[in-house]
Structure 1
Amino acid sequence: MRYIMTFFWTFLLIEMLTYVVSSMNGAEFNFQLGALLAVITTFLIFVVSAIIPTEPIEEH
């Protein structure tokens, strides 16, 4: 469920960003580009979360 929700929110936010940037540049909105960027961004989020250690920090 974590993976599905991460992709869902990443997809929505990247599509919104793609729409806003294309509107500001006067370019045509490209849904496929936003979907591709959402998949790549979701993958990067999972890779970064796997690299970051989740061990508890020892208190001094």
Structure 2
Amino acid sequence: MQYIMTFFWTFLLTEMLTYVVSSMNGAEFNFMTGLILSIIATILLFIFSALLTDDQAEQH
């Protein structure tokens, strides 16, 4: 469930960002661009969370 909700919120925020930036640039909104960016961002979030374990946080 954690992975699904992470992707859901990443997807929503990325689509909003894509819409706002394309609107400010006067370009056409492209749904697939936001979808691809949200998939990449979700994978990066999972990698960062795996690299930053609780053991490393306790040492600092």
CA distance in 1, matches of 2:53, 2:13: 26
Structure 1: give runs of 5+ residues left out of the alignment.
none
Q: Percent identical across equivalent pairs?
A: 64
Provide the TM-score with structure 1 as the length reference.
0.91
SS of 1:28 mapped into structure 2: coil
Say which one has the larger Rg. 1
CA distance in 1, matches of 2:43, 2:30: 21
CA distance in 1, matches of 2:4, 2:31: 20
The count of aligned residue pairs is 58
Matches within 5 A, 1:1-60: 1-55=1-55, 57=58
Structure 1: which 4+ aligned runs deviate by more than 3 Å? none
The alpha-carbon deviation at position 53 of structure 1 amounts to: 2.0
CA distance in 2, matches of 1:57, 1:50: 15
Provide the TM-score with structure 2 as the length reference.
0.91
User: In angstroms, what is the RMSD of aligned CA positions?
Assistant: 1.2
